[in-house]
Copies of this chain bind each other. A is one copy, B any other.
Amino acid sequence: MGQKPSITIQDVAKAAGVSVSTVSRVLNDKDDVAEATYEKVQHTIAEMGYTSNLAAKSLRSHRTNTIGVVALDLNDPFAIQVLLGINRAIRELGYDLILYASGERKKSTYAAWEQRHVSQINGSVADGVIIVTPAAVTFPTTFPLVAIDPHSGDTDYPAVIATNREGAQGVMEYLIGLGHQRIGFIAGREHLKSAQQRLRGYRESLQKAKIALYPELIRQGDYRRETGYRCAKELLDLPNPPTAIFAANDESAIGTIEAARDAGLRIPDDLSVVGFDNMPGTTDITPALTTVEQPMNEMGYAATEILINLMEGKSLNDRAHIMPTKLIIRDSCRAIT
């Protein structure tokens, strides 16, 4: 690491002929600095191209003005969308954003990785963290933390989540209204509350419509496209395949469409498909995907707001912040004739 030592506050002080404390004062916009000194220091700072050392600063001041985000897998479009919402929020609210990713490969160590990073970030380079679709149930930190699309179970952090169950029910009513009786379901990441609630919506709607639930029509996916493909294939290979497939998210739905295509089926003529999330791009695919809109961007935004409130010591009304979903009907479904 043979870099030239970067220039410090000391160098600036010397060059400006003042003490480090004075430089620090102008750096932090303290009021009790003489106009003239302020100008002079400001000038030398610019001249020398000085920027303060983030590490030293936060070590001392215990405040960084940046919020952390930990997202295990950036490969996930959901995470990306949420990130864009967070990005929008910090911009408006005057914070910086620091994202940690490391893409642990082994599923078994996901939770440990998350925990390590959350506590590492907190109190050092960020004042609080947002964690996207966490694998861990609990986090060893005394700092503000909010989850987006949380883990199921008895978590101890506030969370932002959509009305997944209701969204799924909307889909099922629509499909059933179209005359479908054999409806396949590709479930999402097993331990996420969202996935469980969507499955629950599927089940309850079936029951409500007095349609028998066939376990073989439910496949365990994980929100990823490849898995969606595999699950759909299994479903379509069934002796008595479904006439419609409800995939727990758009990625899985796209995998489903690919599988159907590879099996020589036309959509929606031979098979109806519904997704969940309303990812950008789902309009562009052929046929345009019927799906459930989940306000991912807004979820990121809301989480940021909540986190900032927490950081400022305010307490929140509810542990869970619920965001609405909405059925978006496009061209991937068709009535049974």
Interface residues of A (CB under 8 A from B): 1-6, 49, 51-56, 58-59, 62-63, 74-75, 80, 83-84, 87-88, 90-91, 96-105, 116-117, 119-125, 127, 140-144, 254, 281, 284-286, 311, 313
Contact = CB atoms under 8 A, between A and B. Distances in A.
A119 B74 contact: no
Nearest to A97: B101
B120 A52 contact: yes
Given A88-B103, A100-B96, A284-B286, A55 B52 contact: no
A225 to B, nearest CB: 10
Given A83-B74, A90-B102, A125 B123 contact: no
Given A124-B54, A142-B3, A313-B2, A97 B100 contact: yes
A30 to B, nearest CB: 19
A80 B74 CA distance: 9
A87 B63 contact: no
A284 B257 CA distance: 11
- Which of A6, A49, A142 is the most central at the interface, judged by chain B CB atoms within 10 Å of its CB? A6
12 contacts: A4-B142, A6-B123, A55-B58, A87-B102, A91-B103, A91-B105, A96-B100, A98-B98, A98-B99, A281-B281, A284-B284, A284-B285
A142 B120 CA distance: 26
A1 B49 contact: no
Contacts of A51: 116, 119-120, 140
Contacts of A90: 102-103
A137 to B, nearest CB: 14
B56 A59 contact: yes
A120 B141 CA distance: 25
A286 B124 CA distance: 48
